[in-house]
Structures are given as C-alpha cells and as structure tokens.
C-alpha cells in the first residue's frame, strides 16, 4: 500500500499522468465544443485514429510539426464530412458519427498496409518521428525547490503545454467573445440566434471542424509521444472516454479538464500497477478507465436526476 502511495505521489507519476491526459483532454475539448453547439460528436474515436495514422505517415517524410499539422487537418476534414452529411443532408448525427468511426477503423488499416508495404498491425517498420519534449531542466538552478520543479515540469510534450493553453483559449472563446455566445446560443436554443440572423448551420459546421481538429491533435500526441508509431485500433476507446469527460465536466472547459485528468490518472495507474501488484490481472487493470467512466456517468446522472425528480422523468 505504501508503495502505491509513494508511486502515486511521485514526480514520474505526475509526468505519466500529464502524458496520458493530453490526448484525452484534446478530444474532450473537441467533444465539448461540438456538444455545446448542439451537435454531439461520437466520432472523436475515429477522428483520433485517423489523425494518429496521418501523423505517423506524414512524419516519415516531413518534420514533426508538419506531421502534427497534418493530423490536425485530417481531423478537421473528418469534421467537415460530418458537417456535410448531418447539416446539409440532414442525416442523424449519431449514425454519421458511427459511420466515421467504422470508416476510420477500416481505412487506417488499409492505409497502414499501403504505407508499410504489407504490415497490417503496426507501423514499426516506418521511421516515424516524435513530438519533442520541452526541457526545463534549467529550473534546477533555482535554490531549494529547483530540482522538484524540474522533476514535475520538465520533459512534457510540447503538445501537453499546448493543451493547457487550449483550455484557457476555449474558456475565453466561450465566455468572453461574441462567437462563443453564438455557439452556446445555437446549442441551447437555436431559434434565438437564427432570429438574430446568425447562420446556425455555419456555427455548427465550424464547431464540428474544430472538434475534429482538436481530436486530431489528440491523435498526434498519442502516436508521436505516448507511443511512437501506429498500431491498429490504438485509440482503444479514448474517444468515448473523452465524451464521458465532457459529461462529467458539466460541459465546461475547466470541468472537462478535471475530468480528463481523472481519467488520465486511471490510465496511468493501469500502466504503473502491474509492476506493483502483479497479482491483479492486466486485463482488469486495463478495464479500470472504462469502469470509472460508467460509474462517473452514473454518479453524474444521479445528481442531475435528483434535481429533476419532480418531473417524474424516471
């Protein structure tokens, strides 16, 4: 037990948590934006997966930042496809989202075989690049707390710093700019912005594109830092856990951040625990994030339900 506590409160664990949280948080922020505009994006999983592959393949031929950009664009493109089918052709957004996920699973494997010349499982033969880590070891020079600061703050992926900035940017966008007001209005009561002359569908389309782009950044982090390279179905449900984080975070960027951190902690635990407790089977540890999501979903819904009980909803 003490061993567990020591591990959990260590700097290495913190670094691991930031690493696991980053893709989840990007995806959750993407899910938040689209959900707030009234379009629930269940395709975060597929968008991230496609972005993973895109990042890996592009990084073979170009510098890492081009690969990250490509992942962002790939995600955004899929968002545009969703917008087209849902907003223009009025297909149900859940079905469109699942179509994207199904497409992603198949297409990424297909593209992988093309890129690797036959390997359907991993991109291990490809020299794909990594996103650089930000080295803050100069902080050690600070007397006293220096080494601790370094241990906690140095070595994170540049995308992790970006995602922290993104949380602030999204908060600012949603609550301090007119367009954030438009987006929230479109999601809550579209007749109002429509009457004010705001193009509701355009707002939703952009939110889906941005949502895809953010999921794309999450995919870039996953395939270029957490792991280097692509493995089939490597997103392993993270896109759906991100949706859980959106709901758990009360549909607010800071809430989403805390929720994503919570899930990041559990994913990090599942990495660390096999070493500590090898009497707990690997599969059950792997299961923890999913169980936590379900429990969190239930707890959160229960809170809302209590407030709505007068309605006789149940």
Partner 1 sequence: MSLTATAANSRWSLFRREALRGLAALIMALLVAFLVVLFTSKEPFEAMFQLLVAPLQKQRTIGLWIDDVAKLTVTGLAFSLVFQARQFSMGVQGQVYMGALAATYVAMSPLGTTWAAIPLCMVAATLAGAVYGFIPGYAKAKLGANEIVSSLMLNYIAIDIVNYLIRAQLSPPGKGLLMTDPFPKTAVFPALIANTRIDLGLIIAILCILGVWFALYRTSWGLKLRLVGHNPKFAEYSGIRSTFIMVSAMTVAGGLGGLLGSMFVNGQAFGKLTVLFEGGLAFEGILIAIVARSRPLAVPVVALFYGYLRQGAALMGIRTDVPAEVIGVVQAVIILLVASSFTLPGKKLIARLTRPAGEPPVAGKAQEAQP
Partner 2 sequence: MAPLLEAIGIGKTYPGGTVANDGVNLTVNAGEVHAVVGENGAGKSTLMKILFGIERPDRGELRLEGKPVSFTNPREAIDAGIGMVFQHFSLVPSFSVYENVVLGSEPRAGVRFDRAKAIAEVRALSEKFRLSVDPLPPVGSLPVGQQQRVEILKALYRNARILILDEPTAVLAPQEVNELFVAIRSLVAQGRTVIFIAHKLPEVLEISDSITVMRAGKTVGQVKAKEVTEQSLATLMVGREVALKVDRADTDQSRRVCAVENVTILNERGTEVCSDLTLNVHAGEIVGLVGVEGNGQAELLEAVAGLRPVETGRIDLEGSDIAPLSVLERRGAGLASIPEDRIASGLATGASVAENLVSTRLGDRRYVRNGLLDLKAISANAKRLIERFSIRVSGPNAAVGTLSGGNMQKVVVARELSEQPKLLLVSQPTRGVDLGATQFIWRSITDARDGGAAVLLSSADLSELLALSDRLLVFYRGRIVAAFLNRGDLAPETLGTYMLGLSAQTPEEMQAGLK
- Residue 193 engages partner 2 in binding (rule: CB under 8 A): yes
- Residue 185 engages partner 2 in binding (rule: CB under 8 A): yes
Q: Which of 61, 110, 138, 175 binds partner 1 (CB under 8 A)?
A: 110
Cα R_g (the chain), whole angstroms: 20
Please say which residue, 165 or 280, places its beta carbon nearer to partner 1.
280
- Residue 250 engages partner 2 in binding (rule: CB under 8 A): no
Smallest distance from partner 2 to CB 203, Å: 11
196 to 33, 188, 189, 191: CA distances (angstroms): 21, 15, 12, 9
Alpha carbon distance 129, 56 (integer Å): 7
Q: Is residue 206 within 8 Å of 212, Cβ to Cβ?
A: no
Q: Which of 148, 131, 96 is nearest to 226 (CA)?
A: 131
Alpha carbon distance 260, 257 (integer Å): 5
- Residue 89 engages partner 1 in binding (rule: CB under 8 A): yes
Alpha carbon distance 201, 12 (integer Å): 45
- Residue 99 engages partner 1 in binding (rule: CB under 8 A): yes
Please say which residue, 14 or 300, places its beta carbon nearer to partner 1.
300
First-to-last alpha carbon distance for the chain, in angstroms, is: 41
- Residue 307 engages partner 2 in binding (rule: CB under 8 A): yes
Smallest distance from partner 1 to CB 113, Å: 5
**CB-count burial class (<10 Å; 0-12, 13-18, 19+) for 210:** buried
Given the rule CB under 8 A, which residues bind partner 2?
A: 176-178, 180-182, 184-185, 188-189, 191-199, 307-312
Given the rule CB under 8 A, which residues bind partner 1?
A: 42, 85, 88-92, 94-96, 98-100, 102-107, 109-110, 113-114, 118, 120, 236-237, 240-241, 243-244, 247, 281, 283-284, 286-287, 290-291, 293-294, 297-298, 300-302, 304-305, 308, 313-314
């Amino acid at each position: 037990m003490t061993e567990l506590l020591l591990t959990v409160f260590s700097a290495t664990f913190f670094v691991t948590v930031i690493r696991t949280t980053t893709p989840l948080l990007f995806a959750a922020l993407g899910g938040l934006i689209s959900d707030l505009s009234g379009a629930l994006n269940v395709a975060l999983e597929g968008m991230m997966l496609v972005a993973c592959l895109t990042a890996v393949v592009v990084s073979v031929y170009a510098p890492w930042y081009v690969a990250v950009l490509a992942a962002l664009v790939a995600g955004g493109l899929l968002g545009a496809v969703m917008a087209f089918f849902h907003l223009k052709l009025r297909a149900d957004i859940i079905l469109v989202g699942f179509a994207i996920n199904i497409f992603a699973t198949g297409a990424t494997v297909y593209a992988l075989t093309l890129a690797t010349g036959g390997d359907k499982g991993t991109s291990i033969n490809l020299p794909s690049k990594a996103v650089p880590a930000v080295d803050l070891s100069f902080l050690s020079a600070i007397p006293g707390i220096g080494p601790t600061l370094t241990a906690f703050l140095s070595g994170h992926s540049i995308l992790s710093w970006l995602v922290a900035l993104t949380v602030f940017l999204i908060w600012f966008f949603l609550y301090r700019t007119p367009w954030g007001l438009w987006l929230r209005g479109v999601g809550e009561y579209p007749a109002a912005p429509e009457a004010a002359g705001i193009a509701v569908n355009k707002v939703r389309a952009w939110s889906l594109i941005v949502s895809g782009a953010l999921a794309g950044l999450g995919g870039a982090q996953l395939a270029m830092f957490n792991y280097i390279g692509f493995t089939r179905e490597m997103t392993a449900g993270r896109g759906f856990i991100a949706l859980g984080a959106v709901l758990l975070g009360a549909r607010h960027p800071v809430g989403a951040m805390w929720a994503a951190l919570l899930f990041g902690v559990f994913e990090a635990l599942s990495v660390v625990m096999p070493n500590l407790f090898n009497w707990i089977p690997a599969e059950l540890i792997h299961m923890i994030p999913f169980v936590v999501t379900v429990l969190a979903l239930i707890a959160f819904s229960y809170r809302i339900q209590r407030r709505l009980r007068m309605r006789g909803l149940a």
